[in-house]
Structure 1
Amino acid sequence: MTAPIAAPSRLSILLTGYATIALLSLPAHAQESVSLGTIFLETASDGSDDDETIVADQISSGSGLPSDVLDSSASVSVITSKEIQRRGATNTEQVLQYTAGVSTDFYGRDDRYDFFKIRAYDATTYRDGMLIGDAFGGIREEVYAFDRVEVLKGANSTAFGLADPGGAVNFITKTPTGERLREIYGAVGSFEHRELGFDLGDTFAQNSDFSWRLTGKIQDSAAETDDSNDDESFLMGGLSWRPTDRTTVSLVYDHLYRDGYPNSSGYPATGDDFDRDLFLGEPDFNYLDTDRDTLTLKAEHDFGGGLELGASLRFAEGTGGFGYVFLGDVTSLPDTTVSRYYFANDADFANFVGDAHLMYETSLGTVSSRTMGGVEYRDNHRHNTLWYTRAADIDWEDPIYTGGLDLDSTDPYQETTTNTKVKSVYLQQEFTRDQFILQAGLRRDWIDQEVRDHLSGVTTSGESMEDTMRLGLTYKITPNLSVFGSYAESVVPAGLGVEPERGEQYELGVKYRPEGFRGLLSASIYDLSKYNETITNADTLLQEVRGKSRVQGIDLEAKAEITERLSMTAAYSYIESEIVESNLGDNDGNELASTPKHSGSVWVDYLVPGQGSFGDLSLGLGTRYTGEYWRSDANSSKTDSAWIWDAAIGYEIAEGTEMQLNVSNLFDEKHIAQGGFSTDYYNAGREISLTLRHSW
């Protein structure tokens, strides 16, 4: 079944015409470079000091145009590598825990995916502005690979493309800098954790045009639950060529392999307080594997006169899957037995994305103008197989394991191959006059999907065309104080036979950069709606239609280096959510699941300067508050509010050598993060790590 393509609109004619004129107007040699995909406008912001400060001045997310954070008419939070290291964050959820508008840890100790939401909705992830995919159902990224993490809040498909309306996370990859980099570290910690890592870089020779960077880590660890492991190996190598100060070409390859565990299998929903390390799954059937290779080519060239041209190419392929036993209903409370089910997934994938764009900066009398027009192409392939079958009951007071599941001799309940191709053309425009900055964006995506059901032998296909826009206005009251308002749209395909999900957001905000110290304070209020909404059940991975929902909220955030000794981050969010249309009718008027009304965090670092033979001592303490939230859209049971504390102590043993102790969940707070069905899942318990780091 193929859906007809709608007739071209004035928007498509405008965008296609603009891109064509822009490319045809280039010199012949520039046109040839575009066709080869060897020139790229660097999407990453100037992150040269991200390892030295927690306060970022420049961003690459927002309007799609790199800009000063005060000039962007969007809410963007930046977590620099210094903040990541200081808090000892080792995964994306931990990186985002202290960010306003973001909720994490709402599915307990489930390590299949990175579970986080932005403004009540599942987030889309990108790497250097190029799509990775949904955080839910995707690969857990290695955060040591990135210089910074940018969190774009709210609908904004014109900046990056197909995305959910709550927001997006953009990872900025470490690339060769042309400067000497030398860092090695070793870490030990809870659950027999052992880890070694390095980040090295330099030029090949003095005054050489070529530079390199090599980053990697290897991890051998168990996990909180018995009969689980958390192993990883990661290696990333980059090569950059800078023949002139106007041209940079970079090639980055990375390999990620994870041998982890999916979750704790859960705990019987009896109201009892079980030990976190209790394992009621099967030791021989408890795995979470990822094996992925990624190759990225990107470059930038400045022609002068305000004209810059770029392109990027990324190819990733790999395999992944999990297998575990999760709990069902209690079968006999007197006999302390519970039912169980085998659940497994096996997938292989290949993804390609290419982008070419032109940016032109000029002055039109008293008005400064920046224009970016470009095209993008994505080709994603995924073969996915799911198994689900009954396992033997187990006694939670005297567990006896019965063995794993032979997938080769078990029929799957779902096996599909999905091919998605997306062609896009976009335009970003910025006008600046005096204290006013107007930003606008238009984008058209042509989506071609094909799904083959291998069990039924039926192939279904469909085509659609989606337009999105964005409009924002910033007024700089002073050079250090700005206010903004914006309207933005989002779109993402939900599946064949289902209307694409669309979102729209209205937002007002203010940003302030103090003069007396390095810092950034921001506040925003927003109204966000999502239409034609389809959600994925976390247990079955099957889609369910919700219809329409609405979120209204406030985000407050501060990052400040108040003195040379004292720095802090603080965040607060208030969210009102409502299911406006559930289609089934049962949940109309309910709040969205896993969405606390109130959440907040504070992290404070204090440096005690060394004297004599004593080195610097750094002390860090943070607390995260998550208000109560409903565990499902049915609003039948709630998770209680909780305070969780984290701490860090660092000591400079010698110049360039530091030892750091990090403790997450300092007081071992324990609560049911997800449950209300037949199984409960606890939040992650206390974890301690000790790291020795040396740089020279």
Structure 2
Amino acid sequence: MRSTYKSSLILLLGSSAALLSLSAANAQTADSTIRLNEIVIESGGDGSATGPLTGFVPKRTATGSKTSTSIEDIPQSVSIVGRDQIDAQGAQKIDEALRYSAGVFAQPFGVDNDTNWIYIRGFDATAKGTYLDGLQNFSYGFGGFLIDSFGIERIEVLKGPASVLYGGSNPGGIVNYISKRPNGERIRYVETGINSYGNGYIGFDIGDKASDAVDYRINGKIGGGDNYTDFSEEFRGVINPSITWKPDDATKLTLSANYTHLDATHDGGGFLPYYGTVVPTKFGKIDPKSNFTEPSIDRYDREQASIGYEFEHEFDNDWTFRQNTRYGHSSVKEHSLYAFGYASGPFGFAEQPDLTDNLSRIDFEHDTTVNNVLIDNQLEGVVNTGAIEHTLLFGAEYKYFNIDQVQISGSGTPISAGDPVHGAPQASLGEPYIDEVIKQHQVGIYAQDQLRFGDGWLVTLNGRYDYVDTEATGLPTYKGNEGRASGRAGISYDFANGLTPYASIATFFSPEIGVTGNLEFFKPETGQQYEIGVKYRPEWFDGLITASLFDLTKKNVVTGGFRQETQIGEVNSRGFEIEAQANINDAWKVTAAFTAYDLEVKDDADESIIGKRPYLLPETQASVFAQYTVPTGKLAGLALGAGVRYVGSSYADKANTLKVPDVTLLDLKIGYKKDNWGVDLNVTNVFDKEFVSGCQGVNVCAYGEGRKALLKAHMTW
């Protein structure tokens, strides 16, 4: 009988083929402009939909269409963070790497080393909206997969509904992690680092050609040590082998695998009351580094593995068949104590505890095992009908998710918020309140037509139908099924000067697991998004600028308390996003973003919160990061970087009476690279600002991470 209190993501494997495009060229004559046809060649370089980026600027993506497509041709906003930007900012986790992306709110609960928490356009993408190489990393409860950023080549964010391509998923958008994969090049790379908490690691990346037909690559990392809060520590290891076989120019098969281990004591700094974090009490404020678990019994144990393949074959008629498949297994066992309000009074009496500063604690344990199978079949080809060129995609996808979970909790002993003393014996936990096996099958068929015509027009049409069957046996037991259609229509025009305006409408669905208080099976969440925007790729420097306006509504939202849920909720997210990424020249690289939302509860079982903003979520964010590398002279190779992140204020309660202040943070980087070696020092939150990253109620607030320095050395040979 073991348990956990968080959810995670998954790792590794399959996606689409690497294609490089040479941008449409323009030849100017005295009285006419001639646009040359797009040329696509196979490569792993900068124009690939899966390969590494040069600097900060992406060219192509497969996430927004499941075909290798220029970012400008996707009728939704897309953000991509490549390896160069990840390393420049010193990010060691997926959510850290997304802190400078428009429309993304990352790390809302501060430090959490076993989960990547990500919100997109105001909706939680952590459980339903994360993908690895195009296959979903679905999680439920505390069962899912954890992805280490060291094995990732690039992180792609498709904003807005994606059900039409990927089936049930987060309405605000998805995050697709693209793995490092064999590319036929010789790779010999090693990296080691240590941060200011005393947490160190060593990583490696090795690749080459084994023969004319076989390429291989293997990367991994091992590390551990202390983390930001008291008692928090970890030991982790990850290894990702992959091999590509190309028997001829038309066929390619890539096999991939992953093994991940994490053994940790939980982080503190979360599940804390509003009074004592945001607002001081009579005893002052709780120390951000305090940890209110019991270190002698606290544990987090994760063992996960996956294996899969990507197969691609191009027929003589230029049609291409792809099959991406992955099997994953994850076992997570957790035991921890966490605070939940003050022990001195009722829920609303927590402002000024009269008798004691003691915190109540919940003793929680779980044992969760997940197995999943993912298969995505695709058939892609080009057909011309008169003046219109159609890029057609047909697909059939199967998802299987099996979770065996036991959860148990009880009351822990109180502990002082200002002067915690650990070691008090805890009572034995009672019987599980959840002991069940859930099986979910999802089958989807989909089609896409990208119609190009009129020297720059592109119309994108999508349709998909999914059938979802869910069955739970044990405590509790329930069963349900549902079929849903989703669609997308988009239009854009590519001007010769690099400007591409676009507009789109998309619908979505997101299947739920569980039953209402009346024992009715949850219906899928549904809704739609309207989006208009413009993408600009300048001719005078290497850059990409995207601006978008959107109106996104989610219906059938589950509301109410545990086992008293209803499904009448509705939330609307309207907003503006702008993001710019630029390799201005060989020396300067810049990324900047601004996000402004209007988030509103439109319907809820609690009528008093209709018209309010959902708690936790800031409506304004802004960021800029720039790096300058000295190109010549005695200081050649010296890199200086600086970034500023602004996160606006949010609410701590559904009634919008308690506010969490905004915060502005400064990050710095200095590095030096010469020949085949280099060293970097990244410092985040340079001024060690104490701030609350977010609250999900008056008793569930979390501190953001304080100052952290990371010293890293790397070498190739």
| 2:72 partner SS | helix
Q: CA deviation at 1:544?
A: 7.0
Partner of 2:549: 525
- Report the Cα distance in structure 1 between the residues aligned to 2:62 and 2:466, rounded to whole angstroms: 21
Amino acid aligned to 1:418: I
1:451-503 superposed Cα distances (whole Å, 9 cap, x missing partner): 1133x6xx321121111011101111225111100011111111241111012
1:324-362 superposed Cα distances (whole Å, 9 cap, x missing partner): 211133234444322211122320010001111110113
* 488 and 680 in structure 1: CA distance in 2 versus 1, 3 angstrom threshold: closer
1:602-661 superposed Cα distances (whole Å, 9 cap, x missing partner): 00111123534x541001100110110112333231110100111111112x30101000
- 1:251 counterpart = 2:255: yes
Q: CA deviation at 1:112?
A: 4.8
The answer to whether the 8 Å contact 1:417/1:451 transfers is yes
Give the one of 470, 490, 510 matched to 2:534: 510
Partner of 1:571: 593
Structure 2, unmatched stretches of 5+, are 1-12, 21-42, 47-51, 345-352, 515-520
- 1:133 counterpart = 2:108: no
- 1:584 counterpart = 2:584: no
- Report the Cα distance in structure 1 between the residues aligned to 2:559 and 2:220, rounded to whole angstroms: 36
The answer to whether the 8 Å contact 1:40/1:299 transfers is no
Partner of 1:608: 630
- Report the Cα distance in structure 2 between the residues aligned to 1:617 and 1:536, rounded to whole angstroms: 55
- Report the Cα distance in structure 1 between the residues aligned to 2:147 and 2:132, rounded to whole angstroms: 10
Amino acid aligned to 2:524: P
1:510-558 superposed Cα distances (whole Å, 9 cap, x missing partner): 0000111110011000000001012699xx8997756111111001000
Give the one of 297, 317, 331 matched to 2:343: 331
Partner of 2:348: none
Amino acid aligned to 1:140: L
- Report the Cα distance in structure 1 between the residues aligned to 2:435 and 2:206, rounded to whole angstroms: 43
- Report the Cα distance in structure 1 between the residues aligned to 2:396 and 2:549, rounded to whole angstroms: 32
* 289 and 536 in structure 1: CA distance in 2 versus 1, 3 angstrom threshold: farther
1:17-73 superposed Cα distances (whole Å, 9 cap, x missing partner): xxxxxxxxxxxxxxxxxxxxx998538887633253210100112133320111111
Give the one of 579, 582, 590 matched to 1:557: 579
- 1:460 counterpart = 2:478: yes
* 542 and 237 in structure 1: CA distance in 2 versus 1, 3 angstrom threshold: farther
Partner of 1:263: 267
Q: CA deviation at 1:680?
A: 3.7
- Report the Cα distance in structure 2 between the residues aligned to 1:463 and 1:267, rounded to whole angstroms: 38
Decide which moves more: 219-228 or 107-116: 107-116
| 1:362 partner SS | strand
| 1:595 partner SS | coil
- 1:228 counterpart = 2:232: yes
| 1:192 partner SS | coil
- The number of residue pairs the alignment matches comes to 649
- Report the Cα distance in structure 2 between the residues aligned to 1:47 and 1:626, rounded to whole angstroms: 36
- 1:42 counterpart = 2:17: yes
- 1:599 counterpart = 2:574: no
Partner of 2:221: 217
Q: CA deviation at 1:243?
A: 1.2
Structure 1, unmatched stretches of 5+, are 1-37
Partner of 1:277: 289
- Report the Cα distance in structure 1 between the residues aligned to 2:336 and 2:161, rounded to whole angstroms: 35
Amino acid aligned to 1:48: G
* 656 and 317 in structure 1: CA distance in 2 versus 1, 3 angstrom threshold: same
- Report the Cα distance in structure 2 between the residues aligned to 1:544 and 1:107, rounded to whole angstroms: 26
Decide which moves more: 341-350 or 149-158: 341-350
Give the one of 76, 79, 99 matched to 1:77: 79
| 1:586 partner SS | helix
1:115-126 to structure 2, matched below 5 A, reads: 115-123=117-125, 124-126=129-131
Decide which moves more: 183-192 or 296-305: 296-305
* 604 and 47 in structure 1: CA distance in 2 versus 1, 3 angstrom threshold: farther
Give the one of 200, 210, 231 matched to 2:206: 200
- Report the Cα distance in structure 1 between the residues aligned to 2:523 and 2:66, rounded to whole angstroms: 26
1:562-592 superposed Cα distances (whole Å, 9 cap, x missing partner): 1211110000011001100012313111112
- 1:469 counterpart = 2:493: no
The answer to whether the 8 Å contact 1:224/1:276 transfers is no
The answer to whether the 8 Å contact 1:416/1:451 transfers is yes
The answer to whether the 8 Å contact 1:328/1:679 transfers is yes
Give the one of 391, 396, 400 matched to 2:417: 396
| 1:304 partner SS | coil
Amino acid aligned to 2:160: G
The answer to whether the 8 Å contact 1:41/1:357 transfers is no
Give the one of 647, 661, 664 matched to 2:681: 661
Give % identity: 27
- Report the Cα distance in structure 1 between the residues aligned to 2:15 and 2:554, rounded to whole angstroms: 33
Amino acid aligned to 2:248: T
The answer to whether the 8 Å contact 1:116/1:135 transfers is no
Q: CA deviation at 1:305?
A: 2.9
- Report the Cα distance in structure 2 between the residues aligned to 1:298 and 1:403, rounded to whole angstroms: 53
Partner of 1:63: 65
Under a length normalisation based on structure 1, what TM-score does the superposition of the two structures give? 0.89
Decide which moves more: 566-575 or 666-675: 666-675
1:210-230 superposed Cα distances (whole Å, 9 cap, x missing partner): 111010000112111111113
Q: CA deviation at 1:280?
A: 2.3
* 536 and 68 in structure 1: CA distance in 2 versus 1, 3 angstrom threshold: farther
- Report the Cα distance in structure 2 between the residues aligned to 1:41 and 1:647, rounded to whole angstroms: 36
Partner of 1:6: none
- Report the Cα distance in structure 2 between the residues aligned to 1:398 and 1:528, rounded to whole angstroms: 46
- Report the Cα distance in structure 1 between the residues aligned to 2:244 and 2:300, rounded to whole angstroms: 34
1:672-683 to structure 2, matched below 5 A, reads: 672-675=692-695, 676-678=697-699, 680-683=701-704
- Report the Cα distance in structure 2 between the residues aligned to 1:600 and 1:261, rounded to whole angstroms: 33
- Report the Cα distance in structure 1 between the residues aligned to 2:461 and 2:560, rounded to whole angstroms: 32
* 305 and 479 in structure 1: CA distance in 2 versus 1, 3 angstrom threshold: farther
The answer to whether the 8 Å contact 2:16/2:133 transfers is no
* 425 and 406 in structure 1: CA distance in 2 versus 1, 3 angstrom threshold: farther
Give the one of 363, 387, 392 matched to 1:366: 387
Q: CA deviation at 1:140?
A: 3.4
Partner of 1:436: 457
1:477-488 to structure 2, matched below 5 A, reads: 477-478=495-496, 480-488=498-506
* 274 and 216 in structure 1: CA distance in 2 versus 1, 3 angstrom threshold: same
- Report the Cα distance in structure 1 between the residues aligned to 2:72 and 2:360, rounded to whole angstroms: 55
Decide which moves more: 277-286 or 372-381: 277-286
Amino acid aligned to 2:584: I
CA RMSD of aligned residues (A): 2.3
Amino acid aligned to 2:153: D
Give the one of 658, 668, 681 matched to 1:637: 658
The answer to whether the 8 Å contact 1:165/1:490 transfers is yes
Partner of 1:489: 507
- Report the Cα distance in structure 2 between the residues aligned to 1:39 and 1:631, rounded to whole angstroms: 40
Partner of 1:499: 523
The answer to whether the 8 Å contact 2:14/2:134 transfers is no
Q: CA deviation at 1:164?
A: 1.6
Q: CA deviation at 1:134?
A: 5.1
- Report the Cα distance in structure 1 between the residues aligned to 2:150 and 2:565, rounded to whole angstroms: 33
* 351 and 608 in structure 1: CA distance in 2 versus 1, 3 angstrom threshold: same
- Report the Cα distance in structure 1 between the residues aligned to 2:296 and 2:141, rounded to whole angstroms: 26
Under a length normalisation based on structure 2, what TM-score does the superposition of the two structures give? 0.86
1:80-117 superposed Cα distances (whole Å, 9 cap, x missing partner): 11111111111111111000011122223344532221
